[in-house]
Amino acid sequence: MTIFRRPLVEEYPDPRDLEREIRITVLHELAHYFGIDESKLDELGYA
């Protein structure tokens, strides 16, 4: 998994918001790896 820093920093200038978005993105992608689909992720707040 690759996360590109510059676009995220531009979109989330507040470090707390940036950290939250990165956490959600990583958990979202890990969930896909383990077979969790988009609808379940949406229910869990990770869509």
Give the residue numbers spanning the domain of 21.
5-44
Q: pLDDT band for position 2 (50/70/90)?
A: confident
Q: What's the CA gap between 37 and 43, in Å, rounded?
A: 10
Query: For the whole model, what pTM was predicted?
Result: 0.77
Q: How many domains does the chain have?
A: 1
Q: What is the mean pLDDT of the chain?
A: 91
Phi-psi region of 37 (alpha: psi -120 to 50; beta: other; left: phi over 0): beta
Q: What's the CA gap between 40 and 44, in Å, rounded?
A: 6
CA atoms within 13 A on the CB side of 9: 3
Token pair listed for 34: 């383990």
Instruction: Rounding to the nearest 10 degrees, give the CA dihedral for residues 39, 11, 8, 28.
Output: -10
